[in-house]
Structure 1
Amino acid sequence: MPATTSVKLNTGAIMPTVGLGTWKSKPGEVEIAVEFALKNGYRHIDTAAGYQNEKEVGQGLKASGVPREEIFVTTKLDNPDHRNVAQALETSLSKLDTPYIDLWLMHWPAPMTRDGKADKAYDWLDTWKDMEDIHLAHPQKLRAIGVSNFSVEYLERLTKSARVTPAVNQIELHPSCPQDDVVEYCQSKGITLTAYSPLGSDNSPLLKNTVVNSIAQKYKVQPANILISLQANKPGHTVLPKSVTNHRILNNFTIVDLTDEEISDLHKIDETHHFRACHPAWTGWGSIGFPDCK
């Protein structure tokens, strides 16, 4: 099917398919990137408390001159804030300098202490309950809630007791990390997928892959466009290319309609080369239900 320009969430809200990712985007750069992206057509900006750049993202939102109601803003609850959900939300709202957040994600199902250790005494399911409470009580301030880096095992545990089905699960998605089981589960529950690291990683080998480059040559675009377009061509998917470089921000916004055969060929890359750019083991909570890389 052709690429989408937006996805309708299970809340009824419209989420633009392509957003600007800001992971690893430093203060001093990210506000300029956000401003430039919004002035050049982007309407979806993704950040997180853990990126330590929410204030600068907020400055970029304001500097763009684009009305706030035209922008879809996602941010995330940081791992050390699982016990402090309400205050964490207020801090993000203040730093972003916005009266509401379109989508707030639990960044990882991995409560941590301030000194970076796994907080094994706390259950992330209680965190979700606190997020639900705020969303249900103040839907105009917190318009949707969701999760990030959730495997099927964790999604199943969540959906058994959730009062609010997550609007989104943001996970690493690219031809070398397709996560078909997570995608299938989310689609069965009406949960939108957001792909981070759609190129694989910085200096990703996917950018030199012969299949990716062959399709890029056909459409006269860059290999990055094909990898981003792969996600935009899937129903119920949104995608977050990240850059602070103007020409790349512009380039990444170009999406092409891929054929079913091309999508199939891109997915076959996983049969010979599988890797994960961001493995959950760093949290101290193990694999969180995700298989180790081949």
Structure 2
Amino acid sequence: MTVSDPVVEDVVSTISRTATEIRQGLVGRRGTVDEENPSGETQAEADIWADELLEGRLTEIDGIGEYASEERATVVDCGADPDGDAYAIACDPLDGSSNLKSNNAMGTIFGVYDAALPARGDTLVAAGYVLYGPITTMVLATEESVSVYEMSGGERRLVQSDVTLPEEPVVYGFGGGVSNWPDEFEAFAREIETELKLRYGGAMIADVNQVLTYGGIFGYPGLESRPAGKLRLQFEGNPIGYVVERAGGRSSNGHRSLLTIDPDDLHERTPVHVGNAELIDRLEDRPT
């Protein structure tokens, strides 16, 4: 199954081919380097390698004006105007790379924006993620629908189309140290833990995929020590918010949809909450 927009299809096909190499190339790249990303986090060798691999291929696509990632400080200019006929790509090349040490799930997140970066989430025309689990899968959201593919040999095979969140939520996962949660979020979390099953693995992609599969809520709130939270709006919040909203759920920074936030900085952080609409409504309705 191909995407109707030929440029977006080129992006998705390129990421499909590259994802197989990224997964295979993780072997031997589990260590860290003596460098930090623009957000001040220690980089894994695999972070830098995956970013360079994606940047080298995605920037060669006709119709792509900008490339940006969590691993580099500035936007790469590809020579076309992203405010004209070109798109901009923002990605997290290896979400959950800290899981390399323990050999747990991780993934690649991408968003295709019809605007220069940093951009609002409602300018996305497609977004998705690759999950490196027992099976390598891609979840892709476009203006038409949300689809799931299995990945093998650089190719993708459609296994589910018109994906929607199950109506009855089952799982939840909340990030950040519990002792660092604001009181209002902790009160909400204590309600949720009596209703749903905990699923939290340290890679947002894996946790969100549980929510998309079974229904529920994922959240990484603002913390007492870090009110803006940990996750980046351009590379994580917007693409994942787009996927979940296209699947019939909601996204929120605790007050409104992630897709309506006007960004001030390429690496701007935001609290991220995604899941079934009723659960996000309850989160936003709590007194602050």
Which of the five TM-score ranges fits, normalised by the shorter chain? Answer: 0.3 to 0.5
Q: Which has the higher contact order (CA 8 A, sep 6+)?
A: 1
Normalising to structure 2: TM-score of the pair? Answer: 0.33
Q: Quick check: which one's strand share is greater?
A: 2
TM-score normalised according to structure 1 size: 0.33
Could you say which structure has the higher helix fraction? 1
